[in-house]
Structure 1
Amino acid sequence: MKLNQIFSPYQLKTKFELRNRLVLSPLNIQSSLFDGTVSLNDLDFHRRVAKHVGLDVVGSAYVSNNGSTAFGSISVADDNKIEGLTKLASVIHRDGSKAILQLVHAGRMTNHLITQGSPAVAPSPIKAMHGQFDIPIELTETMIEQIIHDFETAAKRAILAGFDGVELHGANTFLLQQFMSPASNKRSDKFGGSLINRIQFPLLVVQRIIKLVQRNLDHSFIIGYRISPEEFESNGLKLASNLILMRTLKKIGIDYLSLSLHRYDQQSIANNELATFPIASIVKQAIGKDLPIIISGEINKRFDLERATGDLFASGRKLMSDPNWPVKLNSENFQMSTTSKISYTELSNLSHRNKNSVGGFG
């Protein structure tokens, strides 16, 4: 996509316009207070790093105490956190960016130290293959309903805090992805087994939040979904299964998809038939042009932005190292557009000279 398009206002949905198509990736900077309260460091980081983007996605706010993904993560698990979250949303809005709060439950990707004593939970009692994580407790249907409720109440707190939307974290092998994956979901009830069953939990979470928004707000509040397109394990989640989830999410009414990629142009590793095409292009073709896609993964320079397939372009590392990168890019775009134009005087002089030469004007 050309720079002039990237720096033009973008209508994400009705009554929701972004000043440009740049997004601060959902980073977990792990600088919150011990109980997940927003800290002064959180406020300072987002004030500095997000001041020139169209959208700031605040990363990994856990919806319940047993769902924290790391020490220092932001909490949205109780009403006491609303005050700090309100300050955070206000800081992001101050310079013109929109604010999205990413909601997460770690599932098995945590331990009792991170959760301050709460046991890790998951679709099945299978320990994660990497990391210092505990063997999780298998969720009962009652516990599953409680977590769905936790996501719903977390979204309500985001609304009360003044955020413009929420993003469901269905990537990076956290709980929403764990239910989708046959490697981590060995259940034999209505939430496990077939893809139709494994897809139920993420859909129920999204549907509950959509209903919450419809009951309480106009349609300008944003609901996004972040997804890892595939797992690399031989028995892991396949791209084809996730494409079905993406199309279903589009059908029930999400506002955007955010692809979690190592590189914006990466190809499928687990599917040889699709290995010659960028995953982002496959997703865009599968879901259509009318659902916006946020693309991320090593977007660090103009070449990357112009080559990436997406509607919005997320960066984390580059913006952390240089928060003024969007300003520099836009300045470069302005200089290119002005130097490529010929003034009226120059055009008149050129016309006059060419009239007096063979093959000139006239």
Structure 2
Amino acid sequence: MSASIFDPILMGSHKLQNRIVMNPMTRCRADVSAVPTPIMATYYGHRATAGLIVTEGTAPSPNGRGYARTPGLWSDAQVAAWKPVTAAAHAKGAQIFAQIMHTGRVSHPGNMPAGAKIVAPSAIALAGQMYTDAEGMQDYPVPQEMTEADIQQAKAEFVTAAKNAIAAGFDGVELHSANGYLLEQFLSPDTNKRSDGWGGTVAKRSRFVLEVAQEVVAAIGGDKVGIRISPYGTASGMAAYAEVDETYLALVAALDKIGLVYVHLVDHAAMGNPAIPAEFRAKLRAAWPRTFILGGSLDAASGQAAVDSRAADLVGFGRAFIANPDLVARMKAGAELNAPDFSTFYTPGEKGYTDYPSLA
């Protein structure tokens, strides 16, 4: 008989109270210095009946902070402010991983600390605009092509952020190699036009991601490191390319040797993105021997079906967790879910953040 999504499970050495993951979601509630605010502890604490919480994308450095009011993990003040968040999660039994997100070219100086610079594998601007608190919508600037020194610095920033996460009480970190941010920018031939040791072939384009993973694992241990990927995704100017299947199958095989605890696959087909081909998804799943997380527009029934079919070990929920602090209890009871208020997803303050009602 198949396991229920409400059953406990081991993820490496981590004892999860169920197979339900709170997916990482940008919420823009940190302060101007990228320091988490007290309401963030309330928000995550309310949702800590999940087995695993993966936080919103958290910048490893000033250069990696692309959005307004997103948190960081590079300063002592940030580490101190994350401690009540991790304590609130643990108080209700959840394990909590910090998602380390370097935005690369998906950035604007209006959202960055003074002296930070926008870096990417190649000097190719993302089309379109992004929001800044001071000046509203602004065009994406052309990023600086990373020098060898920039690449080594960025790797070191991931390692420092991972160590800081453990110091702040997190159970591990998730490397954000999805949705068009820096790690995925290296993987794609559309955003990586380099002809040196960091681009030009599948292996060279994958090198940065693999070296980041290797160095973070060396710093905090493979059992505390997962990765999020989004092949075929279209976020932040991404698109599928000829070698996409080859790239990700080789990447997953190499990450297996490095010893990460999980792979977190994002499939946003239900939100209008191209579907990940079923055959390719099955190959990815088969190539990964440890915990495999599937996220993207699931509900209780489709999440259970993914576990039943062994397409995933854990299933992630995003927007449903925004609007339902007691999502696990609601799904268990078959109760109606609150609808999310899209207008408050990225606004400051408690409205649309800590004020959604629970059944109780």
> Which range, TM-score by smaller chain?
0.7 to 0.9
TM-score normalised by L of structure 2: 0.82
Structure 1 residues 261-298: Cα deviation after superposition (integer angstroms, max 9, x where no partner): 214799965xxxx84x265434213x14x221111111
Per-residue deviation, 1:332? 5.5
The equivalent residue for 1:92 is 89
Amino acid at match of 2:31: L
Cα gap change, 1:224 to 1:183, in 2 (>3 Å): same
The equivalent residue for 2:322 is 320
Given that residues 180 and 237 in structure 1 are in contact (C-alpha distance below 8 angstroms), is that contact kept between their aligned partners in structure 2? no
CA RMSD of aligned residues (A): 2.4
- Alignment equivalent of 1:16, drawn from 3, 14, 22: 14
Per-residue deviation, 1:300? 2.4
Q: Quote the Cα distance in structure 2 between the aligned partners of 1:7 and 1:304.
A: 11
Q: Quote the Cα distance in structure 1 between the aligned partners of 2:125 and 2:242.
A: 14
Amino acid at match of 2:296: G
Per-residue deviation, 1:223? 0.5
Amino acid at match of 2:6: F
Counting only pairs closer than 5 Å after superposition, residues 64-75 of structure 1 correspond to structure 2 as 64-75=61-72
The equivalent residue for 2:354 is none
Q: Quote the Cα distance in structure 2 between the aligned partners of 1:104 and 1:179.
A: 14
Q: Quote the Cα distance in structure 1 between the aligned partners of 2:242 and 2:118.
A: 21
The answer to whether 1:161 aligns with 2:154 is: no
Counting only pairs closer than 5 Å after superposition, residues 140-219 of structure 1 correspond to structure 2 as 140-214=147-221
TM-score normalised by L of structure 1: 0.82
Q: Quote the Cα distance in structure 1 between the aligned partners of 2:83 and 2:326.
A: 25
Cα gap change, 1:262 to 1:201, in 2 (>3 Å): same
Given that residues 38 and 84 in structure 1 are in contact (C-alpha distance below 8 angstroms), is that contact kept between their aligned partners in structure 2? yes
Task: For residue 183 of structure 1, give the secondary structure of its aligned residue in structure 2.
Answer: coil
The equivalent residue for 1:227 is 229
Percent identity over the alignment? Answer: 28
Given that residues 29 and 40 in structure 2 are in contact (C-alpha distance below 8 angstroms), is that contact kept between their aligned partners in structure 1? yes
| Count of equivalent residues | 318
Cα gap change, 1:296 to 1:266, in 2 (>3 Å): farther
Structure 1 residues 227-266: Cα deviation after superposition (integer angstroms, max 9, x where no partner): 1113563657613311211111112111100112214799
Q: Quote the Cα distance in structure 2 between the aligned partners of 1:92 and 1:296.
A: 20
Q: Quote the Cα distance in structure 2 between the aligned partners of 1:237 and 1:176.
A: 17
Q: Quote the Cα distance in structure 2 between the aligned partners of 1:102 and 1:266.
A: 24
Cα gap change, 1:62 to 1:332, in 2 (>3 Å): same
* Larger Rg computed on CA atoms: 1
Cα gap change, 1:234 to 1:312, in 2 (>3 Å): closer
- Alignment equivalent of 2:123, drawn from 122, 125, 128: 125
**Tell me, which stretches of 5 or more residues in structure 2 are unaligned?**
130-138, 336-360
Given that residues 266 and 278 in structure 1 are in contact (C-alpha distance below 8 angstroms), is that contact kept between their aligned partners in structure 2? no
Q: Quote the Cα distance in structure 2 between the aligned partners of 1:186 and 1:133.
A: 19
Given that residues 271 and 297 in structure 2 are in contact (C-alpha distance below 8 angstroms), is that contact kept between their aligned partners in structure 1? no
Cα gap change, 1:188 to 1:294, in 2 (>3 Å): same
The answer to whether 1:311 aligns with 2:313 is: yes
Given that residues 5 and 303 in structure 2 are in contact (C-alpha distance below 8 angstroms), is that contact kept between their aligned partners in structure 1? no
